[in-house]
Amino acid sequence: ALLDDEPCRALSIALLDGYAAQYLDYPHRDNVLGPSRPFFSTYLESIWVLQLCIALDLLEMHAPSAELGPLGARVRDRLIAPSAALIASYDEGTSNRQVWNAAALMAAGRLLDDAALVERATFGRSGLLVLLRDGLLGDGSWYEGENYHLFAHRGLWYGVQMAERRGVRLPADLGERFDAGFIAPFRTLLPDLTYPSRRDSPYAVSVRQPRFAESCELGLAR
């Protein structure tokens, strides 16, 4: 989309078309944390289908209609709609994983023109606003600790971006808490620039990783 690269567009279309053709044939078994077809847990499917929603949205905005053909309808019908139904069936309350479920449902709802699904993912009992209110502490940190914070806050970023693009105004205190979340993990770094290994977090995770740099860039851009 950014480079007007026709071969990349063609490959993206082929990949989306392939997933749409095969998704419903993937086995729905051996699930560890909730239902999923391509993975072993619902939150992984949420992360995956969120990216596919973004890909389809970009293609529909930038690719010539002759290249797309009936792709959009096929992906919505055979991939996004059934995946969203599966994700919506497994509510994880205020878990860090539910953050990604909510973001995926917001994206799917927008592409499916399903206002009720978007509303539920934004304002429902485990939607974006509840996750911001109950998941983030006063200093902007996620209640489950640094390791989960970095994962959950990235998912919240998607949700906040989509909500604000729809014209949803976050309550001022929640907006401030979310913004503080970009900084929160750095307040508790150990002298060797690793994160504390609270709860079941891995030991000695270094801050010097591209994924943490990305979070800083998003915070600065915001």
Measured CA to CA, the distance from residue 212 to residue 194 in angstroms comes to 12
Q: Please enumerate in sequence order all residues whose Cβ is within 8 A of that of 88, keeping only pairs 6 or more positions apart, or say none.
A: 101, 105, 117, 120
pLDDT at 156 over 90: yes
CA 15 to chain centre: 20
pLDDT at 64 over 90: no
At 168, the amino acid letter reads V
pLDDT bucket at 107, cuts 50 / 70 / 90:
very high
The pLDDT value recorded for residue 165 is 94
The per-residue pLDDT for range 68-86, each reduced to its tens digit, is 999 999 999 999 999 999 9
Of the two residues 100 and 65, the one the predictor is more confident about is 100
Cβ–Cβ under 8 Å, residues 63 and 13: yes
Share of the chain above pLDDT 70, in %: 100
The pLDDT value recorded for residue 102 is 98
Measured CA to CA, the distance from residue 192 to residue 141 in angstroms comes to 21
Measured CA to CA, the distance from residue 148 to residue 133 in angstroms comes to 16
Long-range contacts of range 68-71, CB-CB < 8 Å, 24 or more positions apart? 68/13, 71/13, 71/16, 71/17, 71/20
Cβ–Cβ under 8 Å, residues 112 and 76: yes
Q: ∠ at Cα 150 (146, 153), nearest 5°?
A: 120
